[in-house]
Structure formats: structure tokens, C-alpha cells
């Protein structure tokens, strides 16, 4: 038996509660060939949508949410993994189409796992989590496009969130001048500690704006979507690019083609769920080298599994800053 946060559908409501689960049920929840004893998971925006029922994340019921986890291989029939190996998992439909990481155990395909870099512990891996991994994918997307620190300022929207916080830290570490957009001025000091050179008020970007605006940013990482992303595109410098990975403001994009055909800007979509394995490995190697993991771990909040429903609601209300590690064994 093991403990898991279980989501049940009742009429139009999502019910979330910690339950004791027989390990035999894992065989029916996934076609995985690796059984992992989970040490830590995290609480991400998508997890919060699933747990509260605020978004159509869950595709099969009942569901154990949790889009990522880190732990130790318990049993394996996959050639790349042996019992005792530390591993990390991000995405691949965990918590959506098959049981995820907010549990003490998970059975997953070995192809969905990454061997944890030797310099990162399982707790540190979840201090990074899908948020840090996605932020690294965004930075790598910008750099593949040719963006460099010499090109000018890089904007990060939704900078107080998990992805935004990591994007600020990674970009600053790589020598970029980072401008952080936030609606919570009380968090400005924390963002400056992460490396932000300046702070802009969220409201300056979140309202409907002109199709083409003053050129300001060489590039951007957008975690927000909707009018914010439209305004970012409209204010990119000629040839600039934005890596878009979030929808905190909305899924819509009320923009025009003007920035794309008059300034040659690029909109780079960044997905973290089904990224090819080689890019996952490259991202985690870069995290080991370029992310101040120990710093991120020290400022992350750690909660027990039973507290995740309450924290999920708080996260969606904008009351949670930075990372939330879930100790599934607490």
C-alpha cells in the first residue's frame, strides 16, 4: 500500500483527498516498465488546475495528479534503469492521462524518465521541477534562434511564478539584462536577488494595446499569454523573439500580424510535456551547470501531501510565490 492524492469526479465537481492505494492498481494506471519510489513532487499551475477542477487537465478518472516527480527506481525491466537509480520525470501526460507524481509510488515507461544528474538531489530536482525545466527550454529556444546577451534587454512576464522565477535566474546567470514583469511589487526584492535588473508593473502589459508599439525588448519569455503576449510581440525590437510557455492570463492571443511582417519578430512555442528525450537530457544538464539549485531549494516552500489541495487553491488566487515542493512521505 502507498499514499496518493486521488482525484474523483462527482457531478461537475472535482474531489481531492489522500487515499491509501494498493500497489496492484498501478499496473492498470500505466503501461510502465519502471516502478519508482517517489521522494518529492511539486505543485505546478497545471496541477492546481487539475486538483481544483478549474481547468480541463484530467482526461481519465480517477486520477493521481502531479506532472513531475523525483525518486529512486524500485524495480525495472527497462535496460537503462536499475533498482537504486535516482530519476526525474516531467510531463508525458502524467497527472492527465495516467497517474502522476503526487503519490509515494509511480509506474511509468522508462523512456519517460531521465537519470538524475549527479550534482542534483531528488529534493533539489523538485525545487527545480517542471518550472525550472520549462524555463531552461525557453532560454535554449531563444538562444537557438540566435538571441544573445549583447542584443539588449530580455523581458520575463509572470516573473513571480515558478517558470518566471527560474527564467529570471537562468537568463541573469548567462549574462542577460533581465526585466521582470510582476503584479506584486512586494516581490521586487526577491526578483532582484534572482538577477532582475529592473521591474515593470504587470498592468502596463496586461491591458489591450496597440498592434505595433515602441521597440523595447530584444527577446522575452512569456508565461502569461492573452493581451500580455500580444503586447510583448508588439514591443519586441526588430528581429526579436519571444518564447511562449504559459497561459496564466488566458489562452487567447488578441494580436495582429504587424510585428511579424513589419519587424520580423518570432513567436517560439515551448512545450515541456512531449519534448524529445535528447532535449530533455540537454536541459537537465544545463540546469546542473547554470541554475543556482541550492539557492532555489533554500527559498522553496515544502508542504506535506495532504496540504496540496489548499495550496492549489491559493496558487490560483495568486497567493503563492516561487516553488512549492511536495514531500509525499510527510
Residue 246 to residues 45, 118, 193, 269: CA-CA distances in angstroms?
A: 9, 30, 23, 10
Q: Which among 147, 105, 102 has a CA at the least distance from the CA of 1?
A: 105
Domain spanning 131-269, CATH architecture: 3-Layer(aba) Sandwich (3.40)
Per-residue pLDDT of the chain (330 residues; tens, 9 = 90+): 999 999 999 988 999 999 999 998 987 666 789 999 999 999 998 999 999 999 889 999 999 999 999 999 999 999 999 999 999 999 999 999 999 999 999 999 999 999 999 889 999 999 999 999 999 999 999 999 999 999 999 999 999 888 998 999 999 999 999 999 998 888 899 899 999 999 999 999 999 999 999 999 999 999 999 999 999 999 999 999 999 999 989 999 999 999 999 999 999 999 999 999 999 999 999 999 888 787 777 778 999 999 999 999 999 888 887 789 999 999
Q: Specify the pairing of strand 196-201 against strand 301-304.
A: unpaired
Tell me, yes or no, if the two domains 2-116+300-327 and 131-269 fold the same way.
no
| CATH for the 2-116+300-327 domain, from 3.40.50.300, 3.40.50.1980, 2.40.50.140, 3.90.180.10 | 3.90.180.10
Give the DSSP letter string of 204-242. Answer: HHHS---SS----EEEEEESSBHHHHHHHHHTEEEEEEE
Residue 277 to residues 140, 145, 269, 282, 283: CA-CA distances in angstroms?
A: 15, 20, 18, 9, 10
- What ranges do the domains of the chain cover? 2-116+300-327, 131-269
Q: Which three cell numbers stand for residue 289?
A: 551547470
Q: Which three cell numbers stand for residue 68?
A: 513531475
Amino acid at each position: 500500500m502507498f499514499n496518493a492524492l486521488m482525484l474523483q469526479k462527482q457531478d461537475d465537481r472535482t474531489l481531492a483527498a489522500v487515499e491509501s492505494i494498493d500497489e496492484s492498481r498501478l499496473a492498470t494506471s500505466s503501461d510502465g516498465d519502471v516502478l519508482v519510489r517517489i521522494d518529492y513532487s511539486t505543485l505546478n499551475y497545471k496541477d492546481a488546475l487539475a486538483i481544483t477542477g478549474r481547468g480541463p487537465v484530467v482526461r481519465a478518472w480517477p486520477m493521481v495528479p502531479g506532472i513531475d516527480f523525483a525518486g529512486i527506481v524500485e524495480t525495472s525491466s527497462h535496460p537503462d534503469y536499475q533498482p537504486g537509480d535516482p530519476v526525474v520525470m516531467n510531463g508525458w501526460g502524467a497527472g492527465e492521462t495516467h497517474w502522476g507524481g503526487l503519490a509515494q509510488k509511480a509506474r511509468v515507461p522508462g523512456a519517460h524518465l531521465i537519470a538524475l544528474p549527479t550534482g542534483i538531489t531528488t529534493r533539489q530536482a523538485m525545487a527545480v521541477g517542471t518550472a525550472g525545466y520549462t524555463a531552461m527550454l525557453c532560454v535554449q529556444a531563444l538562444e537557438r534562434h540566435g538571441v544573445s546577451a549583447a542584443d539588449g534587454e530580455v523581458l520575463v512576464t509572470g516573473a513571480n511564478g515558478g517558470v518566471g522565477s527560474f527564467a529570471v535566474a537562468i537568463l541573469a546567470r548567462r549574462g542577460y539584462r533581465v526585466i521582470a514583469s510582476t503584479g506584486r511589487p512586494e516581490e521586487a526584492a526577491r526578483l532582484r536577488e534572482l538577477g532582475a535588473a529592473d521591474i515593470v508593473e504587470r498592468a502596463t502589459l496586461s491591458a489591450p494595446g496597440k498592434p505595433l508599439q515602441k521597440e523595447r525588448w530584444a527577446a522575452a519569455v512569456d508565461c502569461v499569454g492573452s493581451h500580455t503576449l500580444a503586447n510583448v510581440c508588439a514591443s519586441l525590437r526588430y528581429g526579436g523573439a519571444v518564447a511562449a510557455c504559459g497561459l496564466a492570463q488566458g489562452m487567447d492571443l488578441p494580436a495582429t500580424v504587424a510585428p511579424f511582417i513589419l519587424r520580423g519578430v518570432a513567436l517560439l512555442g515551448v512545450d515541456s510535456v512531449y519534448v524529445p528525450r535528447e532535449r530533455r537530457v540537454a536541459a537537465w544538464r544545463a540546469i546542473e551547470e547554470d541554475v543556482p539549485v541550492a539557492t532555489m531549494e533554500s527559498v522553496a516552500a515544502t508542504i506535506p501531501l495532504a496540504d496540496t489541495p489548499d495550496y492549489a487553491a491559493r496558487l490560483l488566487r495568486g497567493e503563492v510565490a516561487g516553488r512549492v515542493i511536495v514531500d509525499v512521505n510527510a
